[in-house]
Every structure is written in structure tokens, then in C-alpha cells.
Amino acid sequence: MTPDVQPTVTRPTTVGRFVLRTLGYLPVTFFVWYFAAPVLLYPAVLIVRAIAKLALPDIVRSVEQARATLTFITALRPSGAAAGSVLTVDVDLLIYAYGLPLFAALTLAARERAWKRQLAIGYAALLPCIALPALADFLKSVAITAGPAVASQTGFVAWQREAIAFAFQFGSLIVPAVAPAVLWVALHGRFLAELRHRAGASP
Amino acid sequence: MPRFLTVFVLLLALAFGLELTPWAQAFVVTPWTDTVARVSGALMRTFDASITTSGNVIGSNASPFAVAIEAGCNGVEATLVLVAAMLAFPAPWPHRLAGIGVGVATVQVLNVIRVVTLFYLGQWNEHAFEWAHLYVWQALIMLDVLIVWVIWVKMAQSDTAPGSPRAAAA
């Protein structure tokens, strides 16, 4: 008696199919990311709060979250403002968080068995990559953009302002884009090896 | 993989630090950015005669809307990422150089498409422009870099596989 079992035929993944799947997932992951941002980004806000409390207690009084916008309430007085008024700085977290939907789309498109674990690890690893650039953005605002009257209250010396400027540039131009790709490559070594070694397959 | 990632991150940080120097800004980044604006403007003029360019700014005689191509939109950072990834991955130098040449061209072509689409998107809807500018195109450019790198790695392995003409010549 012949067992009534048909062999499973799966189409081998090529780079082209992988790209198409990623492009198909991107609108979905962007949609979820945008509307779930207040929840998804809350752990990043906690990281920002913790660092601000530990490293900047004289500058930051509190950090508030409204949807995906962080508001830093500082202990600094705005230039030319009346006594008692304080400077607040808004930072849009989404600018630093678009790597989340990209990472999710890449992970879903790879169709690995451990995709849920990979998503969870990637999400956790990307949170500092969102929090730190957001902090650098805030520091750039108070130490450089707000002008000398505010910058002098922060107590940062010249080399620290240079470091803040570099951290802001690196954190806004490189980290949000590169972090998801690096993480995805690091977590999908087997998938990448499979793609590379597929004999005779077209890209 | 750990070695590749370490070398990649170090090369990228070094290249990005060099990019921020006044010398690199004056002699590489600014001319590059102006060229991106000129090429994008020339492309748009093939179907829209109202397009004007001045330095890094693309405008239109038919609309008050204009875009300035700034850091992050000129494709320089994406290029640095791709070059660092190709230098960090073990491959023969001819393959590396060919990959850098073709890869950089690919990134720049997509970047010009980004500039053109953003220009017209901005004339149509400011909210859509912001979304595409700040989130969607950033992700697409990095996806492009990643895919170019994956294809390049795949071809590097084909070239060095036993039996390939290059492996036989090596």
C-alpha cells in the first residue's frame, strides 16, 4: 500500500523573491509601526528616561511621551525668557525608529522557523538604537542649536559639544538605517548562506 | 560573521568621521550633493520644462515648492555603508572594486529616483512628502544597499567556488 503522502514542494528562495516579499511586507509593517508607535516605542522612552536621570540630572527634569514625540522638560532657562520659565525640547522618535518596520519586513520575508524569536531579539536590540539618537538629538538642541545663552547653562565644554555633534550626526544619519540591516544580517546567517550557496540560481 | 561586523562598524565610523571633516564637506560632499541636484533636475527637465536647479536646491517656475538636498538625502551615507560592507567582507580585490563601482551607481540611481519622487510628492501633499522623506525612502535606500551587498556576496562566492574560471586562474 502506497502511503498517500505527497512530498512538499517549496520554491527555493532567490534574492529576487526575497526582495519582492520584503517589498510586500513593508507597507504592512509600516502601517502597524505607525499606529502602534506609542506602545512599541514606550520601552525606548524608558531607556531615555533612565539615561537622563542617571547622566543628566542637572539638565533634564522629566521626559514626557505624547504618541511618538518625546518632550524633554529641562532645568534650563530659555534665552531672554522671564524668571521661572524653562526650556522644553521635542524630539520625534519616529525619525529614529523607521528601522523597526524595515527589520520586521526583512525578518518576515526570510520566512525562517524562528521568526518570532528573531523579531523579539531584533526589537529589543533596536530599542537602544532609537533611544540613544533621540538623546543625542536633545543634547544637540540644548548644547548647540539653542544658542550660547542656553549652551552655557549646560556646562558642556568644547570637546563635549563636538562629541555631541558627532553623536547627533551618526545617530541620525547612520544608526537608524544601518542598525536594522546589521541586526538582520547577524540574525539570519543561515538564511544568507542558503541564498549565497543556491547553485545556479539567478539573483 | 563577528569579524565582518566588527570591521564593518569600525570602517563605517571612520568613513563617517572623515565625511564630517570640513575638507571632505568642501571637496567631496558639497560637489556631490550639487551633482545629485543637477542630475535630478536634468532628468526632470526631460518631461517638465519648468524645473530649475541652483546648488543643492531644485525648484520649479510653475510652483513655489522647492527641495534642498541635504545630508542624509544625497546618498553619501548609503554609499559609505555599502563600501564599508564590501571592504569588510573577505573577497578578491577585483571583485570588491567592481562591486563598489556597480553598487555605488545602483545606490545613486535609486537616490535620484528618490529625489524626483519626493519633489513631486511635496507639490502634491506635504504630509505624504514628510512620510516618504523621513521614513519610507530611508528604509528603501537601506534595503537597496542590503540587497546589492547580498547579491555581491553571492557573486563573490560563485567567483571563488572550486571550478569557477576565476578560482582556476587564482
Can you tell me the ipTM of this complex?
Answer: 0.86
Do the chains contact at B151 and A15, CB–CB below 8 Å? Answer: yes
**pLDDT at residue B60 is higher than 60:** yes
- Percentage helix, strand, coil for chain A under 3-state DSSP, each rounded to 5: 65, 10, 25
For B18, nearest residue in chain A (alpha carbons): A166
Under an 8 Å CB criterion, which residues of A touch B? 15, 19, 22-23, 26, 30, 94-95, 98-99, 101-102, 106, 166, 169-170, 172-174, 176-178, 180-182, 184-186, 189, 192, 195-197, 203
pLDDT tier at B42 (50, 70, 90 boundaries)?
very high
CB contact under 8 A, A30 and B20: no
B63-68 vs B57-60, strand pairing mode:
antiparallel
For the segment B6-29, the average pLDDT, to the nearest whole number, is: 93
pTM comes to 0.88
Mean pLDDT across the stretch B12-20? 92
Those of residues 71-90 in B touching chain A at CB distance below 8 A are 71-72, 77-78, 81
Please indicate whether, in this complex, the C-beta atoms of A98 and B139 are within 8 angstroms of each other: yes
> For A104-134, how does the pLDDT look when each residue is reduced to its tens digit (9 = 90+)?
999 999 999 999 999 999 999 999 999 999 9
Three cell numbers written together for B116: 524626483
Q: What is the C-alpha to C-alpha distance for residues B56 and A192, in angstroms, rounded to an integer?
A: 38
Contact A86, A76 (CB under 8 A): yes
Contacts of B70 (CB under 8 A, 6+ apart): B33, B56
Q: Mean pLDDT across the stretch A7-31? A: 83
What does the alpha-carbon distance between residue A14 and residue A12 come to, in Å, rounded to a whole number? 6
Q: What is the pLDDT of residues A37-70, one digit of tens each?
A: 999 999 999 999 999 999 999 999 999 999 999 9
Chain-chain contact of B1 with A169 (C-beta, under 8 angstroms): no
Strand ranges (E), chain A: 60-66, 69-74, 88-92
Q: Do A69 and A93 meet the contact criterion of CB atoms below 8 Å apart?
A: yes
Interface test with A, best of B114, B131, B146, B151 (most A CBs within 10 A): B146
pLDDT at A79 over 60: yes
Sheet holding A69-74, edge to edge: A60-66, A69-74, A88-92
Cβ pairs bridging A and B (under 8 Å): 86
Crossing angle of helices A115-140/A175-187, nearest 10°?
Answer: 160
For residue A147, the model assigns a pLDDT of 85
What's the burial of A51, exposed, middle or buried (CB within 10 Å: 0-12/13-18/19+)?
A: middle
Is residue B97 less than 8 Å (CB to CB) from chain A? no
